[in-house]
Amino acid sequence: MAAMQSPSWAWLSCWKRSILLKIGALFALLTLTVGTYLVAASKLTGQLTGVSKAIEQAGTERMRIYKLASLIQRLSPSSSERERAAIQEEIARFESVIQDLDFDASQHNTFTNNPLLAVELKQLKARWSMQLKADLELALKNEPPSAAVQDYLSEADHFVARWDHFVQLMEHEAAVRLETLRHRQAGFSIVFLALMAAAFVFLHRFVREPLRHLTAGADRLAAGDFDADIFVRSDDELGQLARTFQRMANTIRHHIGELNSLHATGQEIAMLEPGGLEDVLRRIANRAAESLEVDLAVVMVRHPTMDCWLVEAASGQAFDKIRKQIILLEDAPFSNQALDVKGPVVVADVSTWHGPMRFRDEFHAKSYLGVPLLGAHDCPGVLVLLSIVHTRLFTDWDIRMAQQFSSHAAVAMENARLFDTLESESRDLQKQLEAVERRVAELTHEVKAPAGRMAEFASWIERDYGRLLDAKGRQYLAWIKNEGKDLATLAERTLDWARVNHQPAPVETIDVASVVGEILALLKQDRRNKRIRVTIAPDLPMLLCRRIHVKQIFENLIGNAMKYMGRQPHPRVEIGWMKDEQGVKLFVRDNGVGIETSMLDRIFLPFVRVDSEEVTGSGIGLSIVKTVAEQYKGSVSVQSSLGAGSIFFVLLPVLSRSPEPAARAAQDAGCETGGKHTAGQRGMLVGTEERSI
């Protein structure tokens, strides 16, 4: 019984699995329906054609009966053979027509289902043969016309009447067949429309809807939605394609999860803190086990002195069980191999290894994958992945993912080592810097106090004994007093420079115009004494710095510009900003004595001064400017030549440009509107209006 049913079950299985078979069956059904209709319609059409020809022949042959009557009446003993042959020919034609109308013949078998026509034709045929034809044959003999002619003429009308009745029966039969053809056409149209509707429903159900769901699912996959399901539940090709897309989405989602695990591991490595290596390695082992779907992941390091393996981390509950355990080299043969060859080692079935193996003997591991921890400088260990539940064949993708996790573990260990080294060196360096700062502060205080006392002693001598000294003695005394003051100032500025180098600098929003206004207010007396005209751009930018640092920069730059003005008849200092490829630069320009080209690279070093007999100073101001700018990842530069003045550029973090604070600062400092900016050296001035003081 099962053997008899197997072909039908096989056909049903093919029907479920093949959409091509379904569509082929649908088209076969439609073709069969159309073919059946065409055959039936052709048969009926042929019958109608035969009936029409029969009606036409029968109608024509009625006149042949009367034609024979006319010919036989003209027949006489003197009639020629030709006339008699004509009568014989007409008789033969009539009999041929009757023979053609014989419904027992194959060419007229379409009428065999109507017995009335067959009976009527049979009676007409018998009457023709026994009466009319017999009378015609008697009349054709050489005897004079006899009663046979009269008998033919008397029977002719009755025979024609019966012949007309026969034609009417055939016309009725043709009408019936035509009506049957129309009914079959209407029935076929209904059946065909029903089949087309069924075909549309079938195509919509089994083709269009699955394609729509498949397209929508593919669009969601293309948009990155890998969690969406594709609702195609059939077993045919479209269903198989949908399940293939679903498997592809699951694979991509799984790979994305693996990449996310790698990304999270990379972030943890980037944020590695002192003492956090063990936790990072544990999370790497857990993510490797989860991503690669293994039962156990272990990070082992080769101990450099004991020549054995040390378990640094493991996934899951095995972490607390085997962490920091020692594994002998002979108990880890595949790990030894991975470390020696510096490449992955895959063992699909570890039971084939006949020697000792710790993970097989203790954890009943069945498959093994070992990947070395390849770092930038050495290979400290291996990442071991074990399948315990069943044997497994690791793919190339699994090996590459394991290598990524092992690389992260190696980087984490290398970073931890470097971090510990850097931490230790940083602590030592910090202690040294603190010792240097303390020593500088102590030396500065030791220098500052005697320098102040020296200046004070010189003042006492000048006050008490100045009248006893000549001009040269008073000059020497003034030099001693000034040098003492300069030495005290140098000590104070040295402390400022040390603080700038090592103190933290939280930023704030600084209005440069207000800072410049404060500095100009402090230097107001020097500006008036030298009749220096100061021009300030009205739209100085807002900076992201500490206010004290901005003040130190402009106090030194503006102070130096005023000090090194020389005997310029029209002294001028310009403060503005400009754009270049590096960003927005602030500048301080003067038309003073300028700087020798050989000194341009040295003036920012501590205690280096521009030679000038008229100007005193500590030589550390520009060093402070350079140190402050570099703290904010900026820079300071100068363009100058002797007798042509100088322009100092400072690059600092700019927040925005705000002309309103500059206008308020100008009003506070008593500034007035001046002319237009000109093109600056190696850059175009952006601000167009300026203030003059």
Residue range 243-291, pLDDT digits in tens: 787 777 777 766 676 667 666 666 666 555 666 788 888 888 888 888 8
Give the pLDDT mean for 519-529: 84
For residue 657, pLDDT over 60 is answered with no
CATH annotation of 18-207: 1.20.1420
Q: What is the mean pLDDT of residues 445-472?
A: 70
Question: Which of these, 647, 664, 692, lies nearest to 511 by C-alpha position?
Answer: 664
Supply 151's token pair: 């008998």
Integer Cα distance of 551 and 529 in angstroms: 23
| pLDDT for the residue numbered 674 | 40
Q: What is the pLDDT of residues 98-150, one digit of tens each?
A: 777 764 444 444 454 567 777 877 887 888 878 877 777 777 775 555 677 77
- CATH topology for 504-692 is Heat Shock Protein 90 (3.30.565)
- CA 679 vs CA 90, 393, 654, 684: distances in Å: 130, 73, 21, 5
Expressed in percent and rounded to 5, the helix, strand and coil fractions of the chain are 65, 15, 25
Helix (H) or strand (E) holding 206: none
Residues 6+ apart with CB under 8 A from 283: 264, 265, 268
- Show the tokens assigned to 348: 């699909």
Look up residue 537 and give its amino acid: A
Comparing 197-206, 251-260, 297-306, 604-613, which segment has the lowest mean pLDDT? 604-613
Q: Average pLDDT of 390-403? A: 88
| Stretch(es) of the chain classified as CATH 1.20.1420 | 18-207
Give me the pLDDT at residue 249, please: 72
Where in the chain is CATH 3.30.565.10?
A: 504-692
HSE-up of residue 642 (Cα within 13 Å, Cβ side): 7
Cross-strand pairs, 299: 313, 383
Q: Looking at domain 256-261+273-410, does it have CATH number 3.30.450.40?
A: yes
Percent of the chain scoring above 70 in pLDDT = 73
- Residues spanned by CATH 3.30.450.40 within the chain? 256-261+273-410
Average pLDDT over residues 299-322: 85
Q: How far apart are CA 573 and CA 556, in angstroms?
A: 13
Backbone angles phi, psi at 612, to 5 degrees: -160, 125
CA 103 to chain centre: 81
- Mean of all residue pLDDT scores within the chain: 75
The DSSP symbol for 352 reads G
